[in-house]
Amino acid sequence: MNTHHEFMDEWLALDNLQLKIKKELENVLQKEYSLSIKEFYVLYYLSKAPEKKLRLQQLQELIGLSQSALSRLVANMEADRCGALQKHVCTDDRRGTYTQMTELGENKLQLGLQSFHEVIGTNFAQVDSERILKQLLNKL
């Protein structure tokens, strides 16, 4: 029984670290680049796609939002006040809509990636994350 408690303690330590990092990332992205973490993820997935363009359906699966939530998020990112994305109608299927990253979106992504590295590096340097992971895996 004690092993189960130790396993949960390690799991919760890892989970709390992840939550702390995610909250800090969200704050930095919002403050510095006016991006939510989900918006940052949209830019990241688009950066990996051919022509930096994906159908909204594909993005929905990658980001894990409902269709309406993703549509609102993408519409906000396509709006003139943000300008990180640009909408395209599919020529083969007029019902299909693509969104493509703009140059401004690419710039926000690159700056956000630098912040990601800094925040994650700082947080992992403050804890013995390798020990936590090893202990958790050893208890499986």
pTM to 2 decimals? Answer: 0.83
The tally of domains found in the chain comes to 1
Structural domain including 125 reads: 2-138
Residue that wins the pLDDT comparison between 104 and 5:
104
State pLDDT tens for residues 85-105: 998 877 776 667 889 999 999
Residue 129: per-residue pLDDT: 66
Alpha-helix runs per DSSP H in the chain: 2-33, 37-48, 56-63, 67-78, 103-126, 129-138
- The predicted model gives 104-121 an average pLDDT of 94
Q: How far is CA 115 from CA 31, 68, 83, in A?
A: 11, 29, 20
Question: Token match 């949209």: residue?
Answer: 42
Residue 14: per-residue pLDDT: 81
CATH number at residue 102: 1.10.10.10
